[in-house]
Structure 1
Amino acid sequence: MPENWTVQEVAARTVGGTPYWEVAALKPDGTLHRHIMPTSTLEWRAAEYGIDPADVDTLLEVALHEPHIPMVDDPAGPRYTDGGVTLLTAENDTEARTAHLARIKACPVSVRVRGAKPLDTVRAGHKPDAARIKAMREAVDTNRWLRKYGDLPALPRLAPGAATADFPTRFVPARRP
């Protein structure tokens, strides 16, 4: 059974020109745990996992639970203990989202987000920018592709002086008989 933490307060702050939220959650032992996240975190999670940018509660659940997902130190780098797909090893954002939300659900810490009044500061301050989220999503997709294939697809290099008309710019299927 997960340990339940209750959000007590949220403060909007800025450090070095970067705006962030500081979320204080009360642990069962009576101590406060402070989670600090840049305000862009919610846009990044929307872009990475294909979550609706307006679904602030789901984005907050992801962001506030991520530090508590069990990890294993591995010579190749840290990895999730469940051994499932990750953001960059998944075939697409649907597969990545499904695996990540399952990890959040199984997390040993539960931070109640839905209905938590102190998080109204974040809900009111979250102003998703569609163009920025699109650029973030393209960056994630590019990184996933590079990890999987090692390089971006490219047209063959032309010999000096070769005509570009020899290389189609789009696929044209052959006619059927």
Structure 2
Amino acid sequence: MPEEHKIVDILAGEIGPGVHGWSIITERPGGILWQHSFPADVLEWRAAEYGLTDPAEIVDGILHEPYQDTGDIVLPPSVRVKAAAVKAAKKADPHGPTLQEATSTTAARAAQRSKVAAIKTERVRITDPDGLLLFVHQNHGMDPDRVRTKRELVDVHRWSRLYGGLPVPAPVPTDLEAPRA
């Protein structure tokens, strides 16, 4: 049964020097308060990385990201194993490729949705009993032009990682200007 974390407050504003963002305060079991802060443009990045358009789905994914199992297997210091044994013990991600391994946005999105669903059923379920997230959903500040720019950067990065470079040389910035009369 997953642990329930209830959203109790949301703060918007400067979360670091010159960085506008959101802070979501949740109450964990035992009354422990936890603050999850993230820059506002993270919503645009997740939209670009996974091809998402629904602010509610994007915020839900961001709030559950800290609970993903993304690290290597941690062995107690008393256990001595060779590196090969550790690599052999690692299993492929049952949810699909990571953002960096995916060959398409569709594959990355499907894997991300699977991971978030697994987190909610196996580890942590973040609830919003008072509907506080509605404020974030309505005031997300995502701009379609900035999302498109970020999507292009994600696509170039994905292509470069998968195929070792772009199929054509990147244009020189001066080549992009129209000739002047």
Scaled by the length of structure 1, what TM-score is found? 0.77
* Cα distance in 1, alignment partners of residues 33 and 91 from structure 2: 26
SS at match of 1:7: strand
Structure 1 residues 7-26: aligned runs within 5 Å: 7-14=7-14, 15-26=16-27
* Cα distance in 2, alignment partners of residues 80 and 135 from structure 1: 35
Aligned length: 149
* Residue of structure 2 in register with 1:68 after alignment: 67
Shift of 1:40: 0.8
Of 10-19 and 131-140, more deviation after overlay is shown by 10-19
Q: Do the aligned residues in 2 keep the contact of 1:70 with 1:81 (CA within 8 Å)? A: no
* Cα distance in 2, alignment partners of residues 116 and 144 from structure 1: 39
Change (3 A) 1:140 1:80: farther
Deviations 1:104-155 (Å, cap 9, x if unpaired)? 1111111125x65222331232122111000000011011001101111127
* Residue of structure 1 in register with 2:49 after alignment: 48
Q: Percent of pairs identical after alignment?
A: 36
* Residue of structure 2 in register with 1:146 after alignment: 160
* Residue of structure 1 in register with 2:112 after alignment: 100
Shift of 1:3: 0.8
SS at match of 1:9: strand
Deviations 1:6-28 (Å, cap 9, x if unpaired)? 10000012121110101001112
* Cα distance in 1, alignment partners of residues 91 and 25 from structure 2: 25
| Counterpart selection for 1:110 from 117, 125, 131 | 125
Higher fraction of helix: 2
Cα RMSD of the aligned pairs, angstroms, is: 2.1
- Residue 85 in 1 paired to residue 97 in 2? yes
Q: Find the structure with the greater CA-based Rg.
A: 1
Deviations 1:43-70 (Å, cap 9, x if unpaired)? 1111110011xx1210111100001011
Q: Which has the higher contact order (CA 8 A, sep 6+)?
A: 2
SS at match of 2:30: coil
**Ranges of 4+ aligned residues in structure 1 off by more than 3 Å:** none
* Cα distance in 2, alignment partners of residues 95 and 116 from structure 1: 34
SS at match of 2:141: coil
| Equivalent position amino acid for 1:56 in 2 | P
> Structure 1: which 5+ runs fail to align?
156-177
Scaled by the length of structure 2, what TM-score is found? 0.75
Change (3 A) 1:109 1:98: same
SS at match of 1:91: coil
* Cα distance in 2, alignment partners of residues 72 and 37 from structure 1: 21
> Structure 2: which 5+ runs fail to align?
74-82, 84-89, 170-181
